[in-house]
Structure 1
Amino acid sequence: MTKLATLAQRDLLCSNCAGQCVYAPSTGTLTCNSCATEHQIIPDPNADPAAEQHYHPDMPHTEQPRFATDRHFQCDSCGGDVVFQGHSISENCPYCNGSLVEQAFDESFAILGMIPFAITDRAAQEKAQDWVKRRWAAPSNLGALISNCRVAGIYVPFWTFDSKEAIDYTVRYKKKVGKRSYTRSLSGSMKTYFDDLLMPASPHVTPLIRDGILHDFDPDKLRPFEPAYLAGFAAERHHQTVKQGLACNADDKALLLRNRIIRHSGKSNIVDVSYLTDTTGIKYRRILLPAWILHYEYEGQPMKVITCGLNGRTFGERPFSMLKLFTYAAVLSSLAAGFGFVWGALNIY
């Protein structure tokens, strides 16, 4: 049983006043909600977050140990399964804002590393406000909606995968000769590899959440897993086996391989790519990465904005103002008509 299962509520109480402590991204400490005393978090000096586990798909594989959790919550809307370190901080799902229902005893896989939150909820909301200001044709009240929305911090589960790929491929491409186009084929071989390929470890990690984190992930910033970093936040645990993780992310990996094949072929106007790859040297980590999810509604439609907990990169769902779209279209039409009139007048004379 790992630390997450054994860290007791008393371990999160302030030694100065016995108040409840939460992790503070601004200082990197456990900070008391009552007296503001800061307590240093000291990770296990023997833990190595850079360590990777080997996986051989053709051999019996022993998974990392599971840990037990006696208090976890499941969303009755999206099915998201989260835990809270210490006391429950919310009755709503951080993923979809649905209602959370406490569940009985459960198990999940051990976490090998994590990157704690580096920005606060207030900073996340400021990033979201800046994001709104840059949205073309956004409704005028969108900023006000974002400023009053619910902000949920959650550690989301990801994989890092390493692998070596020996590929035999065929590409079909179009070649133009004179006025006619022909389809040609080219076969080739190549070797490539993936190092710390970041992949979601849960169906609840949507493309919006993944993209909000993907561009800012630096494996050198991984730290040993320490439950104290979760205090005051929600976390989804790892439930996928390695085999399941590889299968769920096979389409994303295939797209990356296809793009590498296209570059290797040196051809343009490619219409089809087929290949066979021999995958070896698979290594993995189970990690947690931080995300702020901002929930709001526009005309009854639930929407969300994602701010990366690593450095604040922001992505989101947004509505459009029909009035602004109509105004922009009218202006563009007027400019086009004016340009046509001037062009016509110049050609007359």
Structure 2
Amino acid sequence: MPPDPEEHRYPCDQCGAVLRFAPGQTRLICAHCGHAQDIPAADLPARQRALGEIDLRAALADHLSPDAMEVTRVLSCPACGAQVEFDPAIHASACPFCGTPVVTDTGAHRHIKPQAVVPFHLTEAQAKDAMARWLRGLWFAPGGLAARARKGRRLDGLYVPYWTFDAATASRYHGQRGDAYFVTRQVRGPDGKTRTQQVRQIRWTSVRGRVTRVFDDLPVMASHSLPRRLADGLRPWDMAALVPYRPDFLAGFRAEGYTVDLPEGWRIARAEMDAVIAGDVRRAIGGDEQRIGSIDTATSAETFKHVLLPIWMAAYRYRGRSFRFIVNAQTGRVQGERPWSVWKIAAAVLGAAAALGLLAYLGQG
């Protein structure tokens, strides 16, 4: 039997109410009486242990030390599959990702523990302002959407699980370099007249070579609860802001457990690395066009970390449909799903047609 998950409670020393982590600070603050409690900074050896890289090959072979594992109780959403850690005293809630009512799973889950966390930097009010600015900048969005979202329901503060990967790569390639040149041809037009025309041609040359690249802290969201395109749109993350994991940073927030396991996360990371390496190969081939025949990549020094990164999230309903917005709680970068205004699009199309008609009339004149 795994041990019971450890409970962390933060009662206020002055009034007994629950303390909450204050974004942008290193303190826990009581919302009832305002009492503040500092979070002690980790010493250098603790930072080095927490922020150190873990050997990927050993982890994939399930040779991690027991200290790298933990047991938690999580809420499992039957609709979107998210696994969110809740206070053990809570037995029912709603999924913050899709709003589905769920019941707390009383089973224990053993997994790789998070080593480090980027604490919340933006407050909820700052995140709402960032979201409103993003909405106001959308083309063809319904009028008043930003104001409605700004005044809508409160945002959920969530720590989302990520894998970060390091690797050194060496890639051998062969392909073809295409250099453009032009030839002059005589072309007969519809009116029967012959005209001179420059035609672009490509001269192909076989090439081969080698490129290297070192990847450092490549982030992969370790969850299926959000569309990956939205999560990737929150980049970049400043990994220099990582601090050793302490439950204090999660006080008042929720933390999602990972549903993308380490092997799957590594496959996603390798696919992203391969895309970057292909770009390196094209630049190495040079010329005006490139054809890649094959790329053979060897990796070494593969390591990883399991970290938690902060987001603010809200679901907004418009005309019976739900739209999700997420805010990088470190930088304020926003991604989301958006509605479209049919009337604005129709007006733009009519305006463009009228402008073309006017230009055609002036051209005839």
Give the TM-score taking structure 1 as reference length.
Answer: 0.88
Are 2:156 and 1:155 aligned?
Answer: no
Structure 2 residue ranges without an equivalent (≥5) = 184-198
Which moved further from structure 2: 57-66 or 141-150? 57-66
Any idea what SS the aligned residue of 1:213 has?
coil
Larger deviation, residues 272-281 vs 305-314 = 272-281
User: Hey, what does 2:93 align to over in structure 1?
Assistant: 91
| Contact persistence 1:89–1:232 (CA under 8 A) | no
Deviations 1:55-104 (A, max 9, x none): 237995522522111x3211121010010357659822222222232002
Relative to structure 1, the CA distance from residue 57 to residue 254 in structure 2 (aligned partners, 3 Å threshold; closer, same or farther) is farther
Q: Structure 1 pair 126/255, CA: closer, same or farther in 2 (3 Å)? A: same
Counterpart of 1:233 in structure 2 is 253
Q: 1:331 aligns with which of 351, 359, 362?
A: 351
Deviation at residue 248 of structure 1 after TM alignment: 3.5
Residue 261 to residue 204, structure 1, CA distance change in 2 (3 Å):
farther
- Work out the CA distance in 1 between the residues paired with 2:338 and 2:301: 42
Aligned partner letter, 2:165: F
> Per-residue displacement from partner, 1:8-50 (whole Å, max 9, x unpaired)?
32xx101111111111214331111221211111144242243
Unaligned runs of 5+ in 1: none
Report sequence identity in percent.
25
For 1:252 and 1:341, how far apart are their aligned partners in 2?
51
Amino acid aligned to 2:83: D
CA RMSD of aligned residues (A): 2.6
Alignment match of 1:81 (pick from 80, 83, 86)? 83
Q: Which of structures 1 and 2 has the bigger CA Rg?
A: 2
- Give the counterpart letter for 1:66 in structure 2: M
In the other structure, the counterpart of 1:62 is 63
Q: Please say which of residues 327-336 and 198-207 is displaced more in the overlay.
A: 198-207
Partner of 2:12: 14
Q: What is the match of residue 243 of structure 1?
A: 263
Aligned residues between the structures: 338
Question: Partner residue of 2:170?
Answer: 166
- Who is 2:33 aligned against? 35
Distance in structure 2 (CA, Å) of the matches to 1:150 and 1:198: 28
User: Residue in 2 aligned with 1:309?
Assistant: 329
Q: Give the deviation of 1:122 after TM superposition.
A: 1.6
Name which of 137, 142, 147 aligns with 1:139: 142
- Per the alignment, residue 283 of structure 1 pairs with 303
TM-score by length of 2: 0.84
Work out the CA distance in 2 between the residues paired with 1:298 and 1:193.
45
Measured after TM superposition, the shift of residue 343 of structure 1 is 3.1
CA–CA separation in structure 2 for the residues paired with 1:26 and 1:301: 34
TM-superposed deviation, 1:186: 2.7
Relative to structure 1, the CA distance from residue 41 to residue 310 in structure 2 (aligned partners, 3 Å threshold; closer, same or farther) is same
Q: Work out the CA distance in 1 between the residues paired with 2:219 and 2:124.
A: 25
2:194 alignment counterpart: none
